[in-house]
Amino acid sequence: MTARSIDGKAIAAKVRADVAAAVKQLSAQPALAVVLTGDDPASQVYVASKGKATIEAGMRSVEIRLPADTTEADLIARVDALSRDPDIDGILVQLPLPKHISEANVLAVIDPLKDVDGLTEASAGKLVLGKPGLRPCTPVGCVILAKTERPDLSGANVVVIGRSILVGKPAALLFLEQNATVTIAHSKTRDLKMVCRGADILVAAVGRPEMVRGDWIRPGAIVIDVGTNRVPAPEKGEGKTKLAGDVHFAEAIEVAAAVSPSPGGVGPMTIACLLRNTVIAACARRGWDLPAQLAG
């Protein structure tokens, strides 16, 4: 059996079209600020695609690139200035930050009303409590992709590999909100392969290229690959690299019912959800009605 490859690009294009139509109805242009500190490879990929998508959706993109040796105090001052700037609607501080900077201290100065990444204590608290709020983009993208294959996730066994604040933890809570039975697996999980084999929906968010092999997957499962890893690609020429997911795609596609590939799956959805959150944040903060395209 060969599985379906879930077309994240096409599904994201639909979300982006809705966002662009919504933006046209607003009385001013929302602005999204992105702060990139240092040179994490997954973050570089993200920045490249994001600015372009923001402008295509009719919004303003502000990009702040800081060197890896930026001090925590400097970064906090920059983020704080964005929080106070009335013309900025969304703030995204790219993670991971360089080791000498406390992520918690930096995230703490993001105005929760501008928290389009859903990473502040206010947003995380709302997610845990089941209150409406800005939800993290990548996890929302995972749920949307899973639902294209299985619209009712109620009672599904979901295994999330990875417990990061950016993906694993919020993804688990969002699947729980869909009434799934959720397991969070991680580096200390015993017999990880067998845990994964119990999954109807397997979400891989570990950051280890092709770690999930065919025999980790239950026949007929839905596999969502969140990994964005840069790996050497000598076939493309010396010193060249390519993107690889956390899932061994060629093996997975032989076992699963559907596989969301990386690239081409969750990545484009992350960007689409970020644009969507920016419009939602702008409307809430500025007291505008949320255009119908983004309601619900």
Ligand X SMILES: Nc1nc(=O)c2c([nH]1)NC[C@@H]1CN(c3ccc(C(=O)N[C@@H](CCC(=O)O)C(=O)O)cc3)C=[N+]21
Instruction: Tell which positions 173-232 bind ligand X, by CB under 6 A.
Output: 228
Strand partners, 289: none
Strand partners, 65: 36
Record the tokens describing residue 194, joined without a space.
């067998």
Spatial CA neighbour of 51 closest among 41, 65, 37:
65
Instruction: Tell which positions 103-162 bind ligand X, by CB under 6 A.
Output: 117, 137-138
Cβ atoms of residues 23 and 60 within 8 Å: no
Torsion-angle region of residue 118: left (phi > 0), alpha (psi -120 to 50) or beta?
left
Instruction: Tell which positions 225-244 bind ligand X, by CB under 6 A.
Output: 228, 243
Spatial CA neighbour of 70 closest among 62, 61, 79:
79
For the question of residue 69 being annotated catalytic, the response is no
Q: Is 163 annotated as a binding residue?
A: yes
CA angle in degrees (0–180, nearest 5) for 216-225-66: 135
Q: Which stretch binds ligand X (CB under 6 A): 44-52, 74-82, 176-184, 247-255?
A: 44-52
H or E segment and range at residue 64:
strand 60-66
Residue whose CB is less far from ligand X, 142 or 243 = 243
Q: What is the total count of residues that contact ligand X (CB under 6 A)?
A: 22
Q: Which stretch binds ligand X (CB under 6 A): 16-24, 90-98, 124-132, 168-176?
A: 90-98
Binding-site member from 3, 267, 277, 294 for ligand X (CB under 6 A)? 267
57 forms part of the interface with ligand X (CB under 6 A): no
Cβ atoms of residues 35 and 75 within 8 Å: yes
For the question of residue 94 being annotated catalytic, the response is yes
For the question of residue 50 being annotated catalytic, the response is yes
Tell me the H-state helices in 71-203: 72-84, 103-107, 121-129, 137-149, 168-177, 192-197
Q: Which of 18, 40, 89, 94 is catalytic?
A: 94
Give residue 254's Cα distance to chain centre. Answer: 26
Residue nearest to ligand X (CB): 267
In whole angstroms, the minimum distance from the beta carbon of 136 to ligand X comes to 7
Q: Which stretch binds ligand X (CB under 6 A): 39-47, 61-69, 75-83, 174-182?
A: 39-47
Q: Which of 40, 117, 200, 246 is catalytic?
A: 117
Q: Is 123 annotated as a binding residue?
A: no
Cβ atoms of residues 200 and 237 within 8 Å: no
Q: Is 260 annotated as a binding residue?
A: no
Torsion-angle region of residue 63: left (phi > 0), alpha (psi -120 to 50) or beta?
beta
Rounded Cα–Cα distance for residues 104 and 71 (Å): 14
In whole angstroms, the minimum distance from the beta carbon of 149 to ligand X comes to 18
In whole angstroms, the minimum distance from the beta carbon of 217 to ligand X comes to 20
In whole angstroms, the minimum distance from the beta carbon of 90 to ligand X comes to 11
Enzyme catalytic residues: 50, 94, 117
Annotated binding-site residues for NADP(+) read: 162-164, 228
- Which stretches of the chain bind ligand X, using CB under 6 A? 42-43, 45-46, 49, 92-95, 117, 137-138, 166, 228, 243, 262-264, 267-268, 270-271
